[in-house]
Structure 1
């Protein structure tokens, strides 16, 4: 079962597009909420500073940001299916990894992408500038390099395995190694 099948289930159950978008943003279906203890969640956030809207630099999303996360999810699944069929037919991978990684980040992590080819970062998650690096099935390593001059606060590493399954990890810039060189190094594992 895909991580996003619950979105289709919600549509089939008659949930509104807004409810489906909310579920996609939080990563779980309404009927799964009973397993999340509100007191536990609030305790985890205790002592955390609240975001000051004035201190977050607004970054305009690119034109064409998905109007519907459900449609974006369907497009994503179609692209993954197409890439898998191409590989089955030719034994070669379609070189669409970066785009697949960023669409996955939009759906799974709530990435709001910048304009195409915007320097410094790919978009924002919760008001933080994020660089997305995708590891393709062709790569054995779980390490990525990112330019240290980039204007990002977090690195999102997306791994696509040989079975076209996706995994992502969001890392604070300060946790990356190689701080004095031209590149910073992040690791998925």
Structure 2
């Protein structure tokens, strides 16, 4: 109940939850200098919803791709494309970025990406079974040789440069 109490500071009312949110945003900003802090509450709420739903029902919501894209926008400063845009999920400077998310229920840590996609970089976001999120960014030229028009990329194959957790 104390968490809901407010106090008067510098001419305005402030709640503890507002202070906690400001601290979280500062932590994200310190860890990720390009962080888009305005998206952090949406990311946290979606991740929490997915986790709570899973623990309550044993099932998974179809949110993980969106969670991965929000994580990309927050941590790397990627400007996301409109939903269902062809070729890539967003831009990082002049580069087109494809975002692929490894979900908590996936049996292996492999993503597949079509070679026909218009992207220079691939960002793989992994949400593990404890709903912890990490990512690795790789240049397209550093991806394994494609087979049948598809890149198959294992989490462990991606070099450590451009990693976040």
Q: TM-score, normalised by structure 1?
A: 0.64
1:49-77 Cα shifts (integer Å, max 9, x gaps)? xxxxxxxxxxxxxxxxxxx9333101111
> Tell me, what secondary structure is at the counterpart of 1:133?
strand
Say if 2:23 is the partner of 1:9.
yes
Equivalent residues, number: 135
Conservation of the 8 A alpha-carbon contact between 1:145 and 1:185: yes
Q: Which residue of 1 aligns with 2:46?
A: 79
Give, in whole Å, the separation in 2 of the partners of 1:154 and 1:25: 24
Residue 63 of structure 2 is matched in structure 1 by 96
* Cα RMSD, aligned residues only: 2.4
Aligned equivalents of 1:168, 1:145: Cα separation in 2: 16
User: TM-score, with normalisation over the residues of structure 2?
Assistant: 0.73
Structure 2: gaps spanning 5 or more residues: 1-19, 157-165
Q: Which has the higher strand share?
A: 2
- Partner SS, residue 121 of structure 1: coil
What's the CA shift for 1:10? 7.4
Helix, strand or coil: the match of 1:103? helix
Structure 1 residue 88: deviation in Å? 1.4
Partner residue in 2 for 1:164: 131
Match of 1:138 in 2: 105
CA contact (8 A) 1:25 1:110 kept: no
After the TM superposition, which residues 147-186 of structure 1 pair with which residues of structure 2 at under 5 Å, given as runs? 147-179=114-146, 181-186=148-153
Unmatched segments (≥5 aa) in structure 1 = 1-5, 12-19, 29-67
User: In the alignment, what sits opposite 1:35?
Assistant: none
Question: Would the aligned equivalents of 2:36 and 2:77 in 1 still touch at CA under 8 Å?
Answer: no
Q: Does 1:109 align with 2:76?
A: yes
Distance 2:88 2:113 in 1: 10
